[in-house]
Structures are given as C-alpha cells and as structure tokens.
Amino acid sequence: MLGRMTAPDIHPDTPLDDLLRRAVLAFRERHGVSARRFGTEALGDPGFVFSQARGRSVRLATADRVLAFMGLAPLGPAFRREVEAFLEATGVKASVLGAEAAGNRSFVVRLRRGASPRLGSVDRVRAWMAAHASVEEMEAIRTRIEDKRNLAEAARPGSSTAPTLSAGAGINLEREGGRSMNGNGSRKYLSTREAAEWLGLSPRTLDRYRVSGDGPAFHRFGSRVRYLAEDLEAWASARRRLSTSDDGTAGLEARP
C-alpha cells in the first residue's frame, strides 16, 4: 500500500498511525494551523490531534478524511486492493488471513463490506501478508497496487512536497475572526448556530427544517452538522420576493 518509503528519516516499518501523525504535524507547521483548528477543519473534532498524540489508533475511514483534507491520496482503497492481490497471488483463504492476521475470520468479508479497521490493525495485516508471501508473490502483488509513497514523504519534516492549501480538496484555510473563509471572504463551513445567524433565523428553526427537508442543504460529519455558505446563499436567493403578493412562482413559465 505504501510501498518502499524513501524519505531518509522514515523507516519502512514506521506504523501508519505515526506516519499520519507526522504528516499532520508537517501540514500544520507548513500552514501555521493550530491543533484544535486542524481537527475542527478536517473532521469537526477539535480534539483529534490531541487524541493522536495520546497514541490512539485512527480508523482507516477517519485517516482517509484527514488525508483528503491535506490533499493526499487515501489509504483505504489501496489497502483493500493489497488484500485482494495477496489472496489472488498466494491462494490463501480469506478466512485464514482474517483469523491469523487480524484475529477475526470474517475480517476480509467485513472489509469488503466497508468496515473500517484501525490503522494498527492494517499494519498487523500488512506485516502478516509480507511474512506469508514469497518474493515472487510480493512482486506480483506490487504490480497490482498503486505505490503510496506520498504519505511517507508528507510525513518528513520540511518536505518540499507537503500538500499546499490549494491541494486540500477545495478547502481554504484562510481565516477571519477565527472562522474559516472561502475565497470571497464569506464563511465556508458554518455550524447550525452560525448558519442561523447568517440567515436571520433561530437554530431551532434550522433543526426543524433538516427534519422536514424545507431548509438549505447541509453536511453531516459524524454527529456534527455543517452548512456551506454558498448553499445558504442559494437557499436564500430562491426565496427572494418582490412584493408581499409574490408567491415565488412569477416567471417560472419562462425558465428552461
């Protein structure tokens, strides 16, 4: 999945959790982003970086969200391809790999169904596969999967290839008043309270609109709800009226 890591200060067996932690640190240092701000912007979780520092292993899906935020390729698809390539090249049964590598016979079945193991489990499975495949089989596996050196490179301090703001999946980290901004100066992702203030409504009204479907489009990141400023603008513009008798249907027949 990660291939042979060539960064001089990154060992080939460096755990994925450590690589991710280093990549996040390099990104934060490069862009002057605080730990709380990074976690909030990337995941809606201001404590994410602190939990990383305490040694908590990150789930694969969470890691991919963080990598996407930093403009890096995800790990999940590559790991799934690597597992399938190993099974095909070696003839090992999926249940055997699961039982011996992950302590769960249904590991591969669950992985195929979208389960998200922790990065520590991914490391253990990859190490087991490397130990149970011949040199020729490993070469056959590597030809089937994409080499993912970019995470190791991004984890190297001072890396010239560390992702820039413009690479972060369209996310702009410029700030004004402590809130994320988009290119025209308006807030990009807003909480329910901020969106309600923006629209001149109460947060309770937006809560009700999310249930009824009458409100603006929103995003859900775990338990957190966020709104895009452009979605609020579109929703508000659609409710523009010229008089108290205007029901919003005037001119509809002229629209394509």
The CATH number assigned to the domain with range 16-74+150-167 reads 1.10.260
The residue extents of the domains of the chain are: 16-74+150-167, 76-144, 175-237
pLDDT of residue 245: 60
Residue 116 has pLDDT above 80, yes or no: yes
Residue 66 has pLDDT above 50, yes or no: yes
pLDDT of residue 237: 81
Residue 2 has pLDDT above 80, yes or no: no
Q: Which of 25-39, 128-142, 232-246 has the highest mean pLDDT?
A: 25-39
pLDDT confidence bin for 252, thresholds 50/70/90: very low
**Taking the CB of residue 40, how many other CB atoms lie within 10 A of it?**
19
Residue 251 has pLDDT above 50, yes or no: no
Least confident among 52-66, 133-147, 203-217: 133-147
pLDDT confidence bin for 100, thresholds 50/70/90: very high
pLDDT of residue 47: 92
What does the pLDDT look like over 145-190, one tens digit per residue?
544 445 556 656 555 444 333 333 333 334 333 344 444 444 467 8
pLDDT of residue 179: 41
- pTM of the prediction? 0.57
Cβ contact 19:150 at 8 Å: no
Domains 16-74+150-167 and 175-237 alike in fold: no
pLDDT of residue 184: 43
- Three-state DSSP at 176 gives strand
Average pLDDT, the chain: 76
Q: CA–CA separation, 31 vs 25, rounded Å?
A: 10
User: pLDDT exceeding 70 applies to what percent of the chain?
Assistant: 71
Cβ contact 171:41 at 8 Å: yes
What does the pLDDT look like over 18-64, one tens digit per residue?
999 999 998 888 888 899 999 998 898 999 999 998 988 999 999 99
Cβ-Cβ contacts under 8 Å for 136 (sequence gap 6 or more): none
What average pLDDT does range 117-141 have in this prediction?
87
Tokens linked to 245: 């008798």
pLDDT of residue 241: 64
**What is the CB-side half-sphere exposure of residue 21 using CA atoms within 13 A?**
17
In degrees, rounded to 5, the angle at the alpha carbon of residue 189 between the alpha carbons of residues 234 and 177 is 115
Q: With respect to CATH, is domain 175-237 assigned 2.40.40.20?
A: no
Residue 192 has pLDDT above 60, yes or no: yes
State the residue for tokens 């984890």. Answer: 155
- CA-based nearest residue to 6, from 151, 105, 117: 151
pLDDT of residue 161: 45
pLDDT of residue 183: 43
- Is residue 226 within a helix (H) or strand (E), and if so which, with residue range? strand 224-228
Q: CA–CA separation, 32 vs 38, rounded Å?
A: 10
